[in-house]
Amino acid sequence: MDKKLLGTIALVTLVVAVIVSFVTASITGNFIWVNKVSQGTNKVYTVKEIDTKLDSIILRLDALERKSYSLYDDFSSGILDVSKWSESKFNAPIYTEIHSVDSQKKVYVVKHSSPGDSGIVLTPSRQFSSGQSLSYDVNYISGSGNNLYQIHINGNYPPSIIPSTTPNPGSGTIGYWNGVPDVGNVFGIYKVKLEFFDNHINQTIVRPDSTIIKHTYPGVNAPHTIGLNIHTGHNGILNFELDNFYLN
């Protein structure tokens, strides 16, 4: 049996075992009491300890899953590969001050430190068909005022999104735009996965606290073109990094 598959089975088994062990648990304040281990005593975990363990499992599952994918780009060359990417503006008067690969950190950096309207759309130089997926990391390092990460589909804003719980700043986005979107604006790494279908796209985002947010973009037809639009408003500044693009 394939070693990757064996690893996946082992990790899934571990997740199930952890969850089952908590079925008989009770929560008191900040502690979880697991009833009667083999020696006849109660085993005690803090809620924070359990969260840390589950976060570690989620990250390991994500890393293992990505190993079965094909690397599109991790910017390890230290420069932007123009055969894989194009850059453009969308409804922005100027580009962000920085929109390039950091040759030391080997990540794509988008940074704007002077409040004002700016933007960059980073677009893979390929289309996506039904049954394919694209996974990548969005590192939200800092930002204030109106500043936002969002995807473009086929060269424009998504026509609709389900659910649309925060329509004003835009559901499925990261940052702040006259309000906080449902995905949030906590600084840290967001793991994004886009799954492509004939007439819609599914989006799954794992937030820095390991909670999972899912959306569907209906009414968009394959083949799909995806752009990553990072931009500021009149009072906005930001610092984002993009990395680890994988195809499946």
- What total number of domains does the chain contain? 2
On whether both 87 and 167 belong to a single domain, the answer is yes
| Average pLDDT value for residue range 204-212 | 98
What average pLDDT does the chain have? 85
Task: Tell whether omega for the bond before 159 is within 30 degrees of 0, i.e. cis.
Answer: no
Q: Which of 42, 68, 94 marks a domain boundary?
A: 68
Among residues 68, 85, 118, the one where a domain terminates is: 68
Domain of 106: which CATH number?
A: 2.60.120.200
62 with 95, same domain: the answer is no
Residues 151 and 231 in one domain: yes
Cis ω before 158 (30° cut-off from 0): no
> Within this chain, do residues 53 and 107 fall inside the same structural domain, yes or no?
no
pTM: 0.77
pLDDT tens sequence across 114-167:
999 999 999 999 999 999 999 999 999 999 999 999 999 999 999 999 999 999
**pLDDT computed for residue 180 by the predictor:** 97
Inform me whether the pLDDT recorded for 75 exceeds 70. yes
Instruction: Provide φ and ψ at 14, rounded to 5°.
Output: -65, -45
Residue 96 sits in the same domain as residue 50 = no
Are residues 65 and 48 in contact, defined by beta-carbon separation less than 8 angstroms? no
Is residue 231 within 8 Å of residue 170, measured between CB atoms?
no
Q: Is there a single domain that holds both residue 78 and residue 191?
A: yes
Residues 87 and 9 in one domain: no
Instruction: Please identify, among 36, 68, 100, the residue that sits at the C-terminal boundary of a domain.
Output: 68
Using one digit for the tens of pLDDT, what is the confidence trace for 229-246? Answer: 999 999 999 999 999 999
- Percent helix / strand / coil, the chain, rounded to 5: 15, 45, 40
Q: If residue 216 lies in a helix (H) or strand (E), which one and from where to where?
A: strand 212-218
The percentage of the chain sitting over the pLDDT mark of 90, rounded to a whole number, equals 71
Domain that holds residue 11: 3-68
Q: What single letter denotes the amino acid at residue 100?
A: S
Mean pLDDT, residues 203-224 taken together: 98
pLDDT band, residue 67 (cuts 50/70/90) = low
Domain shared by 107 and 212, yes or no: yes
Q: Same structural domain for residues 92 and 55?
A: no
34, 80: one domain: no
- pLDDT, tens digit (0-9, with 9 covering 90-100), for 1-44: 444 444 444 444 444 444 444 444 444 455 555 555 555 555 66
Domain shared by 62 and 87, yes or no: no
Residues 141, 242 share a domain: yes
Asked if residue 64 has pLDDT above 60, the reply is: no
**pLDDT higher than 60, residue 171:** yes
- Report pLDDT for 9: 44
